[in-house]
Amino acid sequence: MTPSPPPATGSAAAAPSDPAAGLESPAFQRISESLAELADDSSVPRNIRRGAQSARDELAKPRVALDVRIASAVYVLDDLANDPNLPTHGRTAIWSIISSLESLQ
């Protein structure tokens, strides 16, 4: 019995036209986890937590092209970053997430 090759993982295994291709990459998963952490951070205002969840939801839309999902999430996060009630650590987290998203495009 010959061993079979390990299953392919990551976005390289998905077809380029697959709208969910970016969801499988480790970078995309880290961004999603960072948004989840921000959404669960009780030290930031509620509207920021809701916005982080909204950005995460935008990224998870399965039938939308990856570049459109990224642009939508960046738009939401950019709006949040300009909130005067946002603590410094939250603003830094949002800028970091935006930077990571822009590097995926």
What's the pLDDT tens digit per position in 35-48? 999 999 999 999 99
What's the pLDDT tens digit per position in 71-89? 999 999 999 999 999 999 9
Q: Residue 10 is inside which H or E element, if any?
A: none
Provide the whole-model pTM.
Answer: 0.74
Q: Domain extents for the chain?
A: 22-104
The residue among 24, 61, 56 whose CA lies nearest residue 38 is: 56
Q: DSSP letter for 86, please.
A: -
CA 105 to each of CA 32, 46, 72, 81, 94: distance values in angstroms, whole numbers, following the listed order: 16, 29, 12, 20, 17
Quickly count: other Cβ atoms within 10 Å of residue 55's Cβ.
29
- Which fold, 22-104? de novo design (two linked rop proteins) (1.20.1440)
